[in-house]
Amino acid sequence: MRYETVKSIALTVLVALSIFLTWSLWTYKPKYEFPDTKYVHKISIADQKDAAQLIKPIKVLFDIDDEVFGTVYDEDINSILSQMSTWNIYNLGGARILNPEKIEELSHPDKGNRVEITFPDLVPFDLYKGILHFEGDVLPNASFDRIVIDLDGDGKGGSSVSFISTSEGREYKSNVNAERVATLLNDTRAKKNVYDEYTAMEIKGPEEKMRTIYVTAKEKQMSINQYAIEYFSPEKFKAALFRDPAKVRRDDIHSAGEKYTDDRSLMNVDFTTNMIEYINPGMETVTETPYSNSDVLKRSIDFVNEHWGWTGNYRYFNMSLYEKKTIFQLFKNNFPIFNEQGMTSILLNWGNEEIYRYKRPYFSIKVNIELPGRIEKVLPSGESVLNKLLKDPNFKPEMFESMLIGYKLSKSTELTDVIDLEPSWYYLYGGSWIRYDLDDKRGDMGGLE
Per-residue pLDDT tens digits for 304-331: 999 999 999 999 999 998 889 999 999 9
pLDDT 10s digits, 200-226: 999 987 777 888 999 999 999 999 999
pLDDT 10s digits, 369-425: 876 666 889 999 999 999 999 999 999 999 999 999 999 999 998 888 999 999 999
209 lies in some domain: no
Picking from 307, 354, 316, 304, the residue whose alpha carbon sits closest to that of residue 124 is 316
pLDDT for 353: 79
Decide which of 341, 364, 387 is a domain's last residue. 364
pLDDT 10s digits, 281-311: 877 755 566 678 888 999 999 999 999 999 9
Reported pTM: 0.87
**CATH number for position 291:** 3.30.310.160
pLDDT, mean over the chain:
86
Using left for φ > 0, alpha for ψ between -120 and 50, and beta otherwise, residue 66 falls in left
36 lies in some domain: no
**CATH number for position 421:** 3.10.450
Instruction: Say if residue 345 is in the same domain as residue 383.
Output: no
Instruction: Say if residue 372 is in the same domain as residue 338.
Output: no
Instruction: Say if residue 173 is in the same domain as residue 62.
Output: yes
Say how many domains are in the chain: 3
**What's the domain range around 337?**
227-364
Q: What are phi and psi of 312, to 5 degrees?
A: 180, -170
- In this predicted structure, the answer to whether residue 241 has a pLDDT above a threshold of 90 is yes
pLDDT for 138: 83
- Whole-angstrom distance, CA of residue 359 vs CA of residue 338: 15
pLDDT for 335: 97
- Whole-angstrom distance, CA of residue 339 vs CA of residue 402: 18
261 lies in some domain: yes
pLDDT 10s digits, 6-56: 456 555 555 455 554 444 444 443 333 323 333 446 788 999 999 999 999
Non-local (6+) Cβ contacts of 129 within 8 A are: 139
Average pLDDT value for residue range 188-203:
92
